[in-house]
Amino acid sequence: DPLATSVNRLVLGPLVAWPAAALVGLSGLARDTSIMMAGMPTAVLTTILAVELGGRPALAVRTVIVTTLVSIPTLTVLIALLR
């Protein structure tokens, strides 16, 4: 389900990265960058790997599309929270 994988990537990623960054002692730009990277959309490389390694390319394609579209508001909120 592309929606579930998108929520995992765009919402749960930063929620896990935030305390993890604090746990390892990151602060400032390094902390903010690691949290932002955890909330970025799924890369197109995921689709290539799914095809080459016998995964689920249709799910990968849908996930790339959904996460890219949904990342516009989620990253906007994340940037506002990190300021």
> pLDDT tens for residues 4-16?
989 999 999 999 9
What b/e string do you get for 21-53 counting C-beta neighbours within 10 Å, with b at 16 or more? beeeebeeeebbebbbebbbbbeeebbeebeee
Nearest 10 degrees: Cα torsion 31, 79, 45, 53? 70
| pLDDT over 70, % of the chain | 100
Measured distance CA(32)–CA(41) in Å, rounded: 16
Looking at residues 38-49, what average pLDDT do you find?
94
The pLDDT of residue 25: 98
Looking at residues 16-27, what average pLDDT do you find?
98
CB atoms near residue 63 (< 10 Å): 24
